[in-house]
Amino acid sequence: MKLARDTWLIFQYETGLMLKNPASIAITLIQPITYLLLFTPFLKSVMGVSTYGGAFGVYVPSLFAAMGVFNGMFAGFALLAAIRQGVITRCRVTPLSRVSLLLGRLLQHILLIGFQGIVVVVTAIAFGLRVGLGNFLVALVLLSLIVVMSVSLGYDLALLVPNENALVTLANSLAQPISLLAGVLIPLSVAPLWVRNVALWNPFAWGTNAMRAAFQNHIGDPVVWKASLILTGLAVLTVLLSSRLFGREIA
């Protein structure tokens, strides 16, 4: 009860700050929209998809996965900045539940990525994407699970490597292979067999495949429930792990 109340308090505070600065939210849209509009045409010809609607169906899920991964890394930097500014220390000296500092921020990231996801899809629909509302909602839930996982991993990295420069290198060198092996540029279906085998061990790849099934209106595909299960389990695990790290005597 207290945890829920405290988490909501931190979520409200962080969201309030974010909304006070709409430009900072707009900036987070530039990259996904650019990729959406400029990369989809390439994909359309490379993959030999006949319509733009089809090409968006292939690419939007990839874009979602990429947004999920990179938002997570960004969250690690934001946490590090809050630690540097002493905000975290100040909160830890109050009776506030310490885990709520993490969970409240996590909720804020889900809200932000949900918003980004909706903008991307609405834009894609304007250019020809066709997706059922139910299927889109399934994709959004999968995206939320991905962002919970990646934000928690971003927090773990930031807590284990509390040095901005080292963190940039580390986060980048992890995010690149994770996202390539999740098929964020070219779908894994055209990858050689060994790459697909490696990707079987990448939960983000499961997420991309499941979201693609949703966007292509194949919601009954077993990959959807399998991916949901895998992502839910891992999301819970990563949150527990980062809460543990955060609860240690740091900051």
Residues that bind another protein (CB under 8 A): 2, 6, 9, 13, 16-17, 20-21, 82, 85-87, 89-96, 249, 251
Give least dist CB 152 to another protein, A. 22
Residue pair 239/152 in contact (Cβ under 8 Å)? The answer is yes
Give least dist CB 247 to another protein, A. 12
The smaller minimum CB distance to another protein, of residues 50 and 249, is found at 249
Distance between alpha carbon 25 and the CA centroid of its chain, in Å?
Answer: 15
Give least dist CB 169 to another protein, A. 23
The smaller minimum CB distance to another protein, of residues 6 and 156, is found at 6
**Please, what sign has the CA dihedral across residues 207, 212, 217, 223?**
negative
The smaller minimum CB distance to another protein, of residues 91 and 239, is found at 91
The smaller minimum CB distance to another protein, of residues 75 and 140, is found at 75
Give least dist CB 207 to another protein, A. 32
149: tokens are: 């996982």
The smaller minimum CB distance to another protein, of residues 13 and 52, is found at 13
Cα distances (Å, whole numbers) of residue 100 to 8, 96, 128, 150, 188: 8, 8, 41, 18, 37
Segments in the chain forming alpha helices (H): 2-19, 22-47, 52-84, 87-92, 98-126, 133-160, 164-180, 193-199, 203-215, 222-247
Give least dist CB 20 to another protein, A. 7
Nearest to 210 by CA among 154, 162, 139: 139
